[in-house]
Chain A
Amino acid sequence: MHPIEVLGTYWQQFLTGAGITVALTGLSAILAAVIAPLLALVRVAGNRWAQWPLRLYISFMRGTPLLAQLFLVYYGAGQFRPTLEAWGLWSFFRDPFNCALLVFAVNSTAYQTEILRGGIQGVPPGEVEAARAVGMTRVQTLRRVVFPHAYRIAWPALGNEIILLMKASAIASVVTVFDIMGRTRQVFAKTFDFSAYLWAALLYLALTAIFIALWRLAEARLSRHIDARERGVGTEAVTRGAGA
């Protein structure tokens, strides 16, 4: 079969697969993004007893294969079936998409926590002192000073993490989630046509490229006041020159 023919026949499969990949990556990244800042605060300012379970969790998530984590939850849930049924959670764990979503979110939370910790520690202490000096409360300081700057520092690394997560999400196909990789394996099993894999590779590359473009736009928006200040300095210089 000609590669174009493969795409012509199976484009709907690839497209629905892409939808699942985006949904799986996006939802788990968002879930992780909600929890990670709280855990990052504990990593920065928590006491010893809050620190060590958190360190253990992050080390485990980073030190074991994602595939093993996925199997641990998806197949491992079967060992606790009676309990899970009693709690009404069995229908959740029976669905491979839910399990993949849970595992990816918990895994990405660990990585995002470490990235945000680096961001928070990168905020100059003078900014925090200044916020205290003008009488901001702790929460106000975090909301108005620490987090906006920490996110600007952490932004490129967070983008990298989400790209890695999207690539890693392909392993969900092993537990029968029909994402891009799952659909591709299906198409290959039907046609034995190698070009199915090439289209999948192109699709992943395209998604990555689109994501990078969107992430850069968001970065520009996050630091828009910095650009404005530079522009401001420029106009100021011009008016001064004109006044003199």
Chain B
Amino acid sequence: MTDLFAFGDTGWGDEILHGLLVTIELALVTLPVGLALGFLVAFAALSQNRALRTLGNGYTTVMRGIPEILTLFVVYNGLGMGLNAALSRLAPDAAPIDLSPFLAGVIALALVFAAFSAEVIRGAFNALDPGQVEAGRAIGMTPGKILRRIKLPQVWRFALPGLGNLWINMLKDTALVSVIALNDLMRMTKVAVGVTKQPFTFYLFACLLYWAMCVLSEQVLAQMERRANRGVRRV
């Protein structure tokens, strides 16, 4: 039993560890991209401009309504096809681009993360006390300064629980990328199953690894929330 998970040529320990690292890398690369996109979409949805507002709200509505795996296929197949069609028109002699599963995974997961996080961020901006912004303006802060010194620190505090949930969801959604042949934890588990013919043992092990990552994330997030709320008076 322990032989199965040994490192080296005899067991699957190192292969699965490698897959685990790919999963973590995918999630960590997606987070900043998705969060930045989420802020952009939230700003669009909160903007004074009606067209921008419609665009922002439309994006979150559509993106949150379609399955993540569909988004992944649209990005992996569609974006690749689109890029190649554009490329063959611009430079007929160039070799076709192959969108790597990792890149497709980052783009698709970031697009989904952006849609959900935009709603969380929008809610956090709406929860700000307008009096504080007025106070900032009264003592002569520029809009940029108000955003940096008054709005963002509090938006962070309001948005943290929601963003934490989205991080955990995204971490779990990385498993979908194994379907387009990225060598992540899920995929390496499948490879091990193919050789050893012990599907239950290996998938259970994969589940336990995902579970450990989620429980660890929850602990870290709880710590971050305590830190973010350290200056808040308890009522």
Contacts and interface: CB of A to CB of B under 8 A. Distances in A.
Interface residues of B, number: 38
B37 interface: no
Interface string B172-205: 1111101100000010011001000111110110
Contact of B199 (A71, A200, A201): A71
A80 B198 CA distance: 10
Interface size class, chain A: 35 or more
A64 B67 CA distance: 18
Interface string A72-92: 100111111000000000000
B211 A60 contact: yes
Main secondary structure of the interface of B (DSSP, over half): helix
Contacts of B204: 72, 76
Interface string A179-205: 001001100100000100100110011
Interface in A132-159: none
Contacts of B66: 167, 200-201, 204-205
A68 B171 CA distance: 12
Q: Which of A71, A168, A208 has the most CB of B within 10 A?
A: A71
A184 B77 CA distance: 13
A65 B175 contact: yes
A35 interface: no
A68 B199 contact: no
A64 B211 CA distance: 5
Interface string A41-69: 00000000000000000011011111111
A75 B70 contact: no
A173 interface: yes
A79 B201 contact: yes
A197 B79 CA distance: 12
Nearest to B185: A68
A215 B149 CA distance: 42
Nearest to A172: B69
Given A63-B215, A68-B210, A75-B193, A168 B201 contact: no
A204 B203 contact: no
Contacts of B62: 201, 205
A167 B71 CA distance: 11
Given A197-B70, A204-B66, A67 B207 contact: no
B199 A170 contact: no
A56 to B, nearest CB: 10
B224 interface: no
Q: Tell me what chain A mostly uses at the interface: helix, strand, loop, or mixed.
A: helix
Contact of B67 (A60, A76, A170): A170
B147 interface: no
A142 to B, nearest CB: 30
A167 B82 CA distance: 26
Contact of B173 (A65, A79, A204): A65
Interface string B143-176: 0000000000000000000000000100011111
Contacts of A205: 62, 65-66
Contacts of B81: 194
Nearest to B71: A201
B172 A197 contact: no
B22 interface: no
Nearest to B199: A75
A62 B82 CA distance: 36
B78 interface: yes
A174 interface: yes
B203 A68 contact: yes
29 contacts: A59-B215, A60-B207, A63-B214, A63-B215, A64-B210, A64-B211, A65-B173, A65-B175, A67-B176, A69-B207, A71-B186, A71-B189, A72-B199, A72-B207, A75-B193, A77-B200, A79-B201, A80-B200, A169-B67, A170-B67, A170-B69, A171-B176, A181-B69, A188-B73, A188-B77, A197-B74, A201-B62, A201-B70, A204-B67
Interchain residue pairs A-B with the least CB separation, the first 10: A76-B200, A170-B67, A63-B214, A65-B175, A75-B199, A79-B200, A72-B203, A65-B172, A63-B211, A167-B67
Given A71-B186, A79-B197, A188-B73, 8 more contacts: A63-B168, A65-B186, A67-B176, A79-B198, A171-B69, A174-B69, A200-B70, A201-B70
